[in-house]
Amino acid sequence: VVVWGVAEFDVSDVQMGRRCTVKMRGKLVLIRLRSAAEIATENAVPLAHLRDQETDEERVVNPEWLVVLGICTHLGCVPINNAGEFHGWFCPCHGSHYDVSGRIRKGPAPLNLVVPPYKFTDAAKILIG
Ligand code: FES
pLDDT digits (tens, 9 = 90+) for 99-112: 999 999 999 999 99
Phi, psi of 80 (to 5 degrees): -90, 135
Q: How many whole angstroms from 56 Cα to the centroid of ligand 1? A: 22
Residue spans of beta strands (DSSP E) within the chain: 7-10, 19-24, 27-33, 65-69, 80-81, 89-91, 96-98, 104-106, 118-122, 125-128
β-strand pairing of 118-122 with 80-81 = unpaired
Test site for ligand 1: of 28, 74, 85, most ligand atoms within 8 A of the Cβ: 74
% of the chain beyond a pLDDT of 70: 91
Distance in angstroms (rounded) separating the CA atoms of residues 29 and 117: 11
For ligand 1, is residue 75 a contact (CB within 6 Å)? Answer: yes
β-strand pairing of 65-69 with 104-106 = unpaired
Closest residue by Cα to atom 4, ligand 1, is 94
Expressed in angstroms, the distance from the first to the final Cα of the chain is 13
Q: Which of 22-26, 81-85, 109-113, 114-118 has the lowest mean pLDDT?
A: 22-26
* Single pTM value for the model: 0.89
Q: How many whole angstroms from 107 Cα to the centroid of ligand 1? A: 8
Q: How many whole angstroms from 124 Cα to the centroid of ligand 1? A: 31
Taking residue 38's Cβ as centre, other Cβ atoms within 10 Å add up to 22
